[in-house]
Amino acid sequence: DSGVTQTPKHLITATGQRVTLRCSPRSGDLSVYWYQQSLDQGLQFLIHYYNGEERAKGNILERFSAQQFPDLHSELNLSSLELGDSALYFCASSVTHMYGGAQETQYFGPGTRLLVL
Amino acid sequence: GQNIDQPTEMTATEGAIVQINCTYQTSGFNGLFWYQQHAGEAPTFLSYNVLDGLEEKGRFSSFLSRSKGYSYLLLKELQMKDSASYLCAVRDWNADSNYQLIWGAGTKLIIKP
């Protein structure tokens, strides 16, 4: 158990709908990262939040948005869903120090499996 | 540019040793990570290297050569449960003075009895 929690574990929805995925980081971690992993594909970095502020953006679609709240949990919002959005969505957290180091190890939650029909 | 290369798939025999290579090109190297990911599950952290040399952790060891942009993960006494994908990730400082983690596509390791 990494200490990172994600809800829900599974989500089935229809095209055009909107869903919200939730992530709670490990205690003490200030950074939250979101990743998308389609079947048999590599991890695609979506977005990084640090202490409530957006830090970096990856290949995140305009239909997707995220935020990190004062209690450090994060939500990823996916709207106007398409069949191709079906994937595993992982959240990871790390401590984050200015100069990096082993403290920057990202620990992953169990993921949310999204199926768009 | 930034690039990470790993073999797509490897096969090894239970009880044997296997070496998974990772080569990378980055502009501001700041550490290399190896993760293990079983199918349908989350990646789990295996090792971290920032200095040249070998880091050993039980049956797993990871090596780094910064001058060659090269790392390998060595798995000894292979067990069936080692069948998984192994992800190489490099931390790089980008133009915005932020670090970012660049992920390889992963190497799928198949262990045969």
By CA distance, what is A47's nearest residue in B?
B100
Residue B51 CB neighbour total at 10 angstroms: 8
B36, B84 contact by CB (below 8 A): yes
For each of chain A's 117 residues, which pLDDT tens digit applies? 889 999 999 999 999 999 999 999 999 899 999 999 998 788 999 999 999 999 889 889 999 999 999 999 999 999 999 999 999 999 999 987 555 566 688 999 999 999 999
Is the Cβ of B17 closer than 8 Å to some Cβ of chain A?
Answer: no
Task: Please state whether the peptide bond connecting residue B43 to the residue before it is cis, i.e. omega within 30 degrees of 0.
Answer: no
Contacts of A88 in chain B (CB under 8 A): 40
Tokens 């003075």 identify what position?
B97
pLDDT band at B42 (very low <50, low <70, confident <90, very high): very high
CA distance B104 to chain A (A): 7
Q: Which residues contact B24 (CB under 8 A, 6 or more apart)?
A: B2, B3, B4, B5, B32, B69, B70, B71, B88, B90, B102, B104
